[in-house]
Structure 1
């Protein structure tokens, strides 16, 4: 088993299942949007705003999962497999307690959270219904994320992919049943989409739990959970909290920008949702490459192979930039046709096409951040990306979005220009950080050993 795991750690072997998994995660979200678009454009806008809050929850749940990915990979690289199993148990327990508490808060205060975003009154009822149903069960997604992170760090990226395939199929079937109402099934619209989302995640949790126990050869010490070293939780938080800070800053800034877009109008909000749905298919390659790279660099850092880790990041970055450009150009060329699958509103299609054209410039910049920031995290350098991220997201993305989009009246085009400036500025700074090799001294495994 150990020898097999070592051989699996090539970028292609790790990345292609992650690519399929991320693609299907995106398809799951887009299936909701595509099917709801046949039901109502207002429903699409309502779910889009509710999802902004839910995405923030996933980021909050993901901070422990991020720490799990890096610590497990580093301990496996240094052959400390028993400690890797201990970290797994601590991360699952911690995320369960945290996510249940957050799920309850979202359920109780869902309408207030939506009102904070100045949601139009006609969208509030549907958005609140969706947020309540998905929000109260969001702890299920937290556990799926944590267990998936562990399985991927052990090299079993295909297992996580298979689980996502199953969840995607169940979600699409549920959407079809509740939106179109075949066989006399009641048409539930947004509420039905929420029910199918929750059901698919619950079944996914059952399967990934079984795989976790099947794939990890060391016994997982759940019985000793409260007797395990506190240092595991501290290390998880040392990595996870700064990493979550960067993601939380990004998602919070996106909520503020969404608030600006709500000021422009419901049609602008719907256009943003459709355009970003297509953009996801451009940057998913970079997401997959960055996650595969993070696992590889974690193992390499744990094994003390610093030069291999350095070269791996640079090679992955070049690959991600190339693929993002080659993907963005044809999607921009056929944007009118692709947007036509979502809506027949000519104004939305025209503006959405312009935004996708700007995305050809945006996505290479995003590749810098996805790949290099994940590489820095894998090496233990987790705070610097947060500091730069907060400064750039709020100082550039949010500020310029308001100045160009609202003050000067450029609307969504101004928002997209702000996003381009933010991604490229952060990306270039992150690359300079990686080339400085400051991260060499920040490995958690070697800190402990020393």
Structure 2
């Protein structure tokens, strides 16, 4: 392996493992409630996608904190590199907590999108109410992840995630099925286990960082000069949070279009989308590693090196995602059997899952270059491309073919393939032009 690729892989591996671990929150819930039946699985799906939108509101914190931390490290200002994390915590307290309370109160109306079945709606509402109350913990954890990744120490975040997600799997199982003398809570138990795991992860991060990096400005008193840096973080986070919110809303609306096809299709789509979201995380992790490398090179005034890191990361991501997609392409029944226990559901989901495998490969450049452009400060460019591919193409065409013309699940999955191709092509063109290398943050 070439030295540049080896550097990317070494930095990205803990990030990828952390991303995969984080995605297990939803996959564990789906796997644990699967034996309860398709209605429970559909309810977890509906609640998960509604919660996905809520998380997207604060998702820009991670890339914003990471870019600021990496720039300071690249410029040799390590004594102040933890200060952006403080600002992320402030945003978690003043924005994420109130938003979670509002969304919890709005749960009945939000879940109306998935109200084809009264049982599904009620269970999904309960699941969402519990999960969304962990929004503040999620915002704090995103800020912590930005620090770990920005300083080139992603293994620190990974270790904490492993502990919290093992806790999630054990506690969720106990609560769902009523073990150890506790009442069986079903879908609500899955949500409560995840809620507790997220707050455990945030608390562990807080304690460890306070002990290790308080001399780098962590939890220092807020000063008047910090207003400028806080405003910069907000300026970086808003476009990224907006594009991720629009992406998450698009996913939710895409799921709502599928809900028009029936509960069975909802259950299948939930599994397919979670598998897809799980497998694209290595690409995002490689992009986050590239974000750090690009940001540090830009901080050191080396745009040529920043460009090279981006292209090398795309090549590594394409090779890795092609390998990870092989089980989806060659043995889809085995993959689906982990989540679906009805042979008819497995048969209906086989071809869409294979299309998902092809789409993940096509998405490689988009996944990586999204993160590198965020590190360079080109957040508005990312917003424009992601919005155009999803809201300008995918959702209108899916609505037309699925809702009006009655196309099936497979047809809608072909459209997601085309969306990914459009998005990757656009990002490659932008990266090649290099206008992003002149942005200052």
| Structure-1-length-normalised TM-score | 0.92
- Separation in structure 1 between the aligned mates of residue 253 and residue 343 of structure 2, nearest angstrom: 27
Which residue number in structure 1 is paired with residue 373 of structure 2? 376
Task: Supply the distance in 2 between the matched residues of 1:219 and 1:24 (Cα, whole angstroms).
Answer: 28
> What is the CA-CA distance between 1:82 and the residue it aligns to?
3.9
Give the aligned partner of residue 198 of structure 2.
201
> Residue 282 of structure 1 is aligned with which of 279, 286, 294?
279
Moved more, 411-420 or 110-119: 110-119
CA distance in structure 1 between the aligned counterparts of 2:176 and 2:140, rounded to whole angstroms: 28
SS of residue paired to 2:222: helix
- Runs of 4+ deviating beyond 6 Å: none
Which residue among 8, 12, 19 is the counterpart of 2:9?
Answer: 12
Provide structure 2 residue ranges, at least 5 long, that are not aligned to the other structure: 1-5
C-alpha separation between the residues in 1 aligned to 2:245 and 2:323?
Answer: 30
The one of 418, 435, 438 equivalent to 1:421 is: 418
Aligned to 1:306: 303
Q: Does 1:112 align with 2:109?
A: yes
- 1:318 to 2:337 alignment: no
* Shift in Å, 1:293: 1.1
Q: Partners of 2:31 and 2:88 in 1: how far apart? A: 35
Question: Could you list the per-position Cα deviations for residues 381-436 of structure 1 after superposition, in whole angstroms to 9, with x for gaps in the alignment?
Answer: 11112112212211211012123333333322122122111111121111111110
Shift, 1:43, TM fit: 1.1
Q: What is residue 386 of structure 1 aligned with on the other side?
A: 383
In the alignment, the residues of structure 2 paired with residue 219 and residue 321 of structure 1 have an alpha-carbon distance, to the nearest angstrom, of 36
Quote the residue 1:88 is aligned against: 85
In structure 1, distance between residues paired with 2:370 and 2:105: 35
Q: Which residue of 1 aligns with 2:3?
A: none
Partner Cα separation in structure 2 for residue 118 and residue 153 of structure 1: 42
Contact 1:144 1:204 in 2 (8 A): yes
In structure 1, C-alpha distance between the alignment counterparts of 2:134 and 2:18, rounded to whole Å: 21
- Bigger mean CA offset, 111-120 vs 205-214: 111-120
**Which range moved further: 352-361 or 273-282?**
273-282
Whole-angstrom CA distance in 1 between matches of 2:224 and 2:364: 41
Q: Does 1:235 align with 2:232?
A: yes
Are 1:443 and 2:425 matched, yes or no? no
Give 2:151's aligned residue. Answer: 154
Alignment of 1:283-362 (within 5 A): 283-362=280-359
Distance (whole Å) between structure 2 residues aligned to residue 221 and residue 31 of structure 1: 33
- From 170, 174, 178, give the equivalent of 1:177: 174
Q: Secondary structure at the match of 1:79?
A: coil
Q: Which residue of 2 aligns with 1:126?
A: 123
2:407 partner SS: coil
- Distance in 2 separating the partners of 1:300 and 1:394: 34
Report deviation, 1:262. 0.8
| 1:375 shift after superposition | 0.9
**Aligned-partner SS, 2:215:** coil
CA apart distance, 1:98: 0.6
Q: 1:281: Cα distance to partner?
A: 4.2
Instruction: Measure how far apart 1:233 and its partner are.
Output: 1.9
Residue 184 of structure 1 aligns to a residue whose secondary structure is coil
* Structure-2 residue corresponding to 1:144: 141
| Alpha-carbon offset, residue 11 of structure 1 | 1.8
CA deviation digits over 1:345-394, x for unaligned, max 9? 22211121111111232112221211011111111211112112212211
What is the deviation of 1:322? 1.8
The answer to whether the aligner puts 1:431 opposite 2:436 as a matched pair is no
Counterpart mapping for 1:258-277 below 5 A: 258-277=255-274
Aligned pairs for 1:23-102 within 5 A? 23-102=20-99
**Residues 160-214 of structure 1, C-alpha deviations (whole Å, 9 max, x = no match):** 1011101111111012212233333211111111111111112111111112123
Partner Cα distance (1:95, 1:28) in 2? 20
Give the aligned CA root-mean-square deviation in angstroms. 1.8
Q: Normalising to structure 2: TM-score of the pair?
A: 0.94
SS at match of 1:225: coil
Structure 2 contact 57–245 (Cα < 8 Å) conserved: yes
Q: 2:364 aligns with which of 345, 358, 367?
A: 367
Q: Does 1:410 align with 2:420?
A: no
Deviation at 1:68, TM superposition (A): 0.8
Residues 398 and 418 in structure 1, CA contact (< 8 A), matched pair in contact too: no
| Greater displacement, 228-237 / 248-257 | 228-237
Structure-2 residue corresponding to 1:448: none
Query: Which range is displaced more, 9-18 or 419-428?
Result: 9-18
Alpha-carbon distance in 1 for matches of 2:218, 2:324:
45
Q: Check conservation: 1:81, 1:218, Cα contact below 8 A.
A: no
| Structure 1 residue ranges without an equivalent (≥5) | 1-8, 445-450
